[in-house]
Copies of this chain bind each other. A is one copy, B any other.
Amino acid sequence: MSHHTYKHIELTGSSDQGIEDAVSNAITKASESLHGMRWFEVTDTRGHIEHGRVAHWQVTIKVGFTLD
């Protein structure tokens, strides 16, 4: 994790299962077009409420990947 240059992007993933699943969905979607992702940091955890209960979670992450 040392002599590289990294770029960071910010993504929001959604899930009706929970926080970990929302993060995984964002990373899976991003991996379709982006290679070299190495780490993430959760920066925001939100959700939508419908009929008095959690309808889905929306979790924002900052993702670092190597610039090659």
Partner-B contacts on A (CB < 8 A) = 1-14, 18-20, 23-31, 37-42, 44-49, 52-58, 60, 62-64, 67
Copies of this chain per assembly = 12
Q: In the complex, A37→B49 CA distance in Å?
A: 6
Contacts beyond the supplied A19-B19, A31-B53, A40-B47: 7 A-B pairs with Cβ under 8 Å: A1-B58, A2-B56, A5-B26, A5-B30, A11-B67, A37-B52, A38-B48
Q: In the complex, A67→B27 CA distance in Å?
A: 12
Q: Residue of B at shortest CB range from A15?
A: B3
- Are the C-beta atoms of B2 and A6 separated by less than 8 Å? no
Partner pick for A52 among B4, B31, B53, CB 8 A cutoff: B31
